[in-house]
Amino acid sequence: MTILEFQKLIEAIYLERDRTRGRDGTFVWFVEEVGELARELARPRKDGGKNLREEFADVLAWLSTLASIEGVDLEAAAAEKYKKGCPKCHSTPCAC
C-alpha cells in the first residue's frame, strides 16, 4: 500500500467524523497518539512488538487524517521534500 492509498483509506473510514471534530480537535487526538507511541517505545517488549506496531499505525493514521483535513497529499509532500535526500545537504545518507 502506498502512502496515498493509506491516506485515501483513512479518509474513507474517518474523514467525515474528523472534519466535524475539526483540525484543532483532531490535532489533540494526534498528540495523544504520539504520547501513546512514546510510552510504548519506553517499555520493554513483552508482546513481540505488536503494541508498538499498532501505535505506529495509529500515529500514521492520525497524521494522514490531519493532512487530509488540511488538503495535503502526504505522499506528494514527502516526495517533494525528500526526493533529493536530506533537504539541507541533498545527500543520502545525510552528510550534515
CATH number of the structural domain spanning residue 30: 1.10.287.1080
What does the block give as the cell for 93? 545518507
The structure's pTM equals 0.90
Mean pLDDT, residues 33-46: 92
Positive/negative CA dihedral, 79, 82, 84, 88: positive
Q: How confident is the model at residue 96 (pLDDT cuts 50, 70, 90)?
A: very high
Q: Is residue 94 part of a domain?
A: no
In which residue are the cell numbers 545527500 written?
91
Domain region containing 27: 3-82
Q: How confident is the model at residue 43 (pLDDT cuts 50, 70, 90)?
A: confident
Contact 26, 69 (CB under 8 A): yes
In total, how many domains does the chain have? Answer: 1
Q: Is residue 89 part of a domain?
A: no
Q: What pLDDT was estimated at residue 47?
A: 79
Q: Is residue 11 part of a domain?
A: yes
What does the block give as the cell for 12? 474513507
Q: What pLDDT was estimated at residue 45?
A: 81
Q: What pLDDT was estimated at residue 44?
A: 85
Q: Is residue 27 part of a domain?
A: yes
